């Protein structure tokens, strides 16, 4: 998984690369994170996550941070449930969990992230309907139906 952003503190464009490593039996092993600096033309490792990240998921850039849905229940790539929202702040170069709305897990098929008018939102897709949640104030989710 990759993301691109601007570090205001160092005035540098950076790429973050996050890779989940699995054992040969498919069980989660670890997650590795690296940052590429455009200014210095090199990769460097940063503190790894304790989350499993899905391959190919695009980060959503809001409030100077890239956001992804990740799994805290690391078992196998086929059984992971990506229901935790994390953010990577390019200025501090640190990950953090982002508080999100309470939602019903019954019938939940998937959750997608998006930016709407520069606000972070989630779309929870159920078998019969979808629910849109918008973070009007960063860190606070409001239900929009």
**Residue ranges covered by each domain of the chain:** 1-98, 99-145
pLDDT band at 125 (very low <50, low <70, confident <90, very high): confident
Q: What does the pLDDT read at residue 134?
A: 86
pLDDT band at 140 (very low <50, low <70, confident <90, very high): low
Q: What does the pLDDT read at residue 99?
A: 78
pLDDT band at 145 (very low <50, low <70, confident <90, very high): very low
Which of 57-71, 74-88, 99-113 is least confident? 74-88
Task: Show the tokens assigned to 77.
Answer: 């790539």
84, 99, 96: which is closest to 137 by C-alpha? 99
Q: What does the pLDDT read at residue 105?
A: 63
Please enumerate in sequence order all residues whose Cβ is within 8 A of that of 7, keeping only pairs 6 or more positions apart, or say none: 13, 14, 90, 91, 93
Question: 40-60 pLDDT, tens per residue?
Answer: 999 999 987 777 777 777 889
Helix (H, G, I), strand (E, B) or coil at 24: coil
């Amino acid at each position: 998984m990759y993301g691109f952003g601007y570090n205001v503190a160092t005035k540098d464009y950076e790429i973050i690369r996050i890779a989940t490593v699995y054992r040969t039996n498919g069980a989660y092993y670890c997650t590795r994170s690296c940052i590429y600096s455009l200014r210095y033309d090199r990769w460097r490792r940063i503190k790894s996550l304790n989350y499993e990240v899905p391959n190919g998921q695009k980060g959503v850039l809001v409030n100077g941070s890239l956001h992804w849905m990740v799994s805290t229940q690391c078992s196998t790539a086929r059984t992971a449930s990506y229901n935790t929202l994390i953010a990577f702040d390019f200025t501090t170069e640190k990950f953090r969990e982002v508080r999100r709305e309470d939602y019903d897990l019954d019938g939940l098929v998937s959750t997608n992230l998006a930016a709407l008018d520069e606000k972070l939102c989630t779309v929870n897709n159920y078998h019969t309907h979808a629910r849109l949640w918008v973070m009007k104030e960063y860190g606070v989710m409001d239900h929009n139906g």
